Amino acid sequence: MTRLITVLLAASTDATRLHRVRPSDESLTAFAASIADRAINHDIHLARAPASGTPARSLRVIAMRVPLGHGRACWRRARRRLLSWEMHEGSTWSAVLVEDPPGRSLVTLAALPSPRLPLLWVSNPCRAVRRRVGRRRCSVGYSTLSGHLLEGEEKMDVVWSRETDEVAFEVVSHSRGAGPLGKLLFPALSSTQRRFFREQCRCMQRAAAGVQRVEPVWSSPRSAHPGHRLEAVAGVTR
């Protein structure tokens, strides 16, 4: 473990940063301002298949969906949370800080190697690139920037079903390692990514529905491009 921490600290750059203690909100805000001019580091787009030079099998696709409740009041609460980028509100070990509107820098924060053993904190450079508001569906999304150890996009939706009146939260992530170090570490980051997305689902479900238990979270086949292997993710409890 000591050797792994040494390697991770050495990997800390002027973009992806490793911290021995949780950085303050002021520090994260300053970090967000410092990455405003960085470029997106990939050609992955969730709205369409990757470019011909990007084999589909090279991407890790994670898709999750959880019910939030029913009715207009639930829809409004969930929509407000999503559009305010508060999908991690209430989490003790993860966060998203964004300078809205889309096109502005965004920072993700998570504890490593796990929430119960936060030996390090990692902050990553991203950019908000999506904001859609509809009568029954709204979504936001972000992309990784140069200097991030990963390349990819994440899209989050709140959907209000006309047929069942159910309100649900959906997450879709496409990613791969960036650069030699990112590609080396990428296989080991799978559980960290899943944990981060499950925390989004947990926080959104608690905020919108106020329940004690998060329902099982499963990947949706319709979220993937042909050739991608989706990963089913088990539910979690408080």
- Buried b vs exposed e over 129-157: b needs ≥16 C-beta within 10 Å? bbbeeeeeebbbbbbbbbbbbbbbbbbbb
Q: pLDDT tens-digit profile of 61-85? A: 999 999 999 999 999 999 999 999 9
Q: Residue 100: in which H helix or E strand, if any? A: none
CA distance 55 to 50: 7
Positive or negative: CA dihedral 174, 130, 202, 147 = positive
The CA angle 49-51-56, to the nearest 5 degrees, is: 60
| pLDDT < 50 positions in the chain | 1-2, 48-55, 212-238
The pTM of this model reads: 0.81
Would you say 149 and 178 are in contact if contact means Cβ atoms under 8 Å apart? yes
Cα(3)–Cα(1) distance, rounded to whole angstroms? 5
User: Are the C-beta atoms of 172 and 223 separated by less than 8 Å?
Assistant: yes
C-alpha gyration radius of the chain: 17
Q: Which of 179, 172, 180 is nearest to 140 (CA)?
A: 172
pLDDT value, residue 5: 52
Tokens of 106: 């965004």
Question: Residue 217: which residues within 8 A CB-CB, separation 6 or more?
Answer: 64, 65, 66, 198, 201, 233, 234, 235, 236
* Contact partners, residue 73, CB within 8 Å, separation at least 6: none
DSSP string, 142-191: EEEBTT-SEEEEEEEEEEE-TTT-EEEEEEEEEEEE-HHHHHHHGGGGHH
Domains of the chain plus CATH, in order, are 2-45+57-231 (3.30.530.20)
pLDDT at position 58: 80
Contact 60, 219 (CB under 8 A): no
Contact 70, 167 (CB under 8 A): yes
171-182 tens-digit pLDDT: 999 999 999 988
Check: CB of residue 110 under 8 Å from CB of residue 91. Answer: no
Tell me, what's the pLDDT at 49? Answer: 45
The pLDDT tens digits of the residues spanning 106-134 come to: 999 999 989 999 999 999 999 999 999 99
Cis peptide before 101 (omega within 30 of 0): yes
